[in-house]
Amino acid sequence: MVVGVAACGGGGNGGSSLPAFWAATPAPAPAPPASPEAPAPAAPAPTYKVSGTVKGLLGTGLVLQNNAVDDLRIAADGSFSFATEVASGAGYAVTVKSQSRILTRVCTVSHGTGTVTDAAIADVAVVCAAPAARFAYATNSGSDNLFPYTVDASTGALGSMAAPMLGTGPNPLAITVDPTGRFAYVANSGDSTVSAYAIGAGTGVLTPFATVATGAMPMSMAVDPTGRFAYVANAGASTVSAYTIDAATGAWRPMAVPVVAAGSSPHTITVDPTGRFAYVTNLGAEAVSAFAIDASSGALSPLAVPTVPAGVGASAMTLDPLGRFAYVVNMVDDTVSTYAIDASSGVLTPMPTVATGRSPRAIAVDATGRFAYVVNMAGNTVSAYRIDAGTGALTPMALPTVATRTSPTAIALDPTGRFAYVTNYVSKDVSAYTIDADTGALAPMAVPAVATGGIGPTSLALSR
């Protein structure tokens, strides 16, 4: 048997030979060059809420938007916040998409635009208020006409228009303006009609366009705050006539049930600020009739408590701006009857009466609901009262009366609460006053009275 062995080489270097089957181990392949590290994605910008408050809202229908999207329906006064947050560095723009159905007020936005900068936006303010009056109209029952005025926005002074005098029907006793300021209506007691006028946009000039029949001896009118319905108190018929209003033309059409019964000799009709209830003073019955207003048709139906007592000679009536309290002047016993209004049912609850001057004929409450004013025809004065915010009770002001001209009959207050105007039957003019914002005190304007251009002014209406 032959055994193979590795041969040993001699020599002085002591070298040895490698096995025949040896092969060199290959060098490892170089690692591929490292690719540069991809940058981490940028963190998204933080987002923040856009919020604010609403004040003075009446009724439903107000919708806000942010950046022309993200609709937000507002149901009542208070805080609001948009659902979609806005990234830091991005802009926001809060606008009114649609106004409330209550047209007597217009909602405007302040602090509504800007850029979000690492903090929530919380100071957007939406204020709903009646626009300032720009025009005034006084009816002259003795000369069957009316006189229009301009209203100075800063001073409240009344100025004559270029074509001041306009005819009415016989014995115009009342005038009202629809809440959009586009139409005016005059109740003509002498022929039992209502005259309708279009109000010139920007000019205030009246253009007659229609006449509609009422019940006998219409004494007053009311247009609901949505501008869809109108009601007339007919003293000679002891009824209320009810109409729908064409939104485009302002024309009246009798409702499906055109007439409802009221008490004896209804004198004044008024509608609450939300358009849910109507109230009628009954001069002959010494009472107030109360009705619910159907939201769709405008039809009147008696409330669960259909009448409440008033004083002797119940004539004019008004409500506070939020519809919480009602006030009726009683021209025979020289008092004001006060009532609390149930927010759900509209029912009136009588409260204590307060004294007025002699033969009170008209009453008005200012836009803030803090002050009330009663026109005293036989006393040639206006009685001024503070209104308790909680109870609605009237308290005479520190200066309880202010003088008017002769035989005042009606009063109208500027919607901003800065000015007051009183028609004077015998002196055939309008007394003009400023209203102190803190105290409510009346002070005669620099020009304390302006002529009505006719005989026997009996009513006054202001328009935006």
The contacts of residue 406 (CB under 8 Å, 6+ apart) are: 380, 424, 425, 426, 427
pLDDT in tens, 124-155: 999 999 999 999 999 999 999 999 999 999 99
Phi, psi of 64 (to 5 degrees): -105, 155
CA distance linking residue 370 with residue 57, whole number of Å? 17
Q: What is the pLDDT of residue 42?
A: 72
CA distance linking residue 424 with residue 411, whole number of Å? 10
Q: What is the pLDDT of residue 420?
A: 98
pLDDT in tens, 394-433: 999 999 999 999 999 999 999 999 999 999 999 999 999 9
Phi, psi of 203 (to 5 degrees): -110, -30
Q: What is the pLDDT of residue 5?
A: 39
Quote the longest CA-to-CA distance of the chain: 159
What does the block give as tokens for 226? 């949505």
pLDDT in tens, 324-379: 999 999 999 999 999 999 999 999 999 999 999 999 999 999 999 999 999 999 99
Strand partners, 193: 188, 213
Q: In the chain, which stretches have pLDDT less than 70?
A: 1-38, 40
CA distance linking residue 174 with residue 371, whole number of Å? 23
Q: What is the pLDDT of residue 162?
A: 82
Q: What is the pLDDT of residue 38?
A: 66
Q: What is the pLDDT of residue 14?
A: 44
10 Å CB burial of residue 298 (0-12, 13-18, 19+) is buried
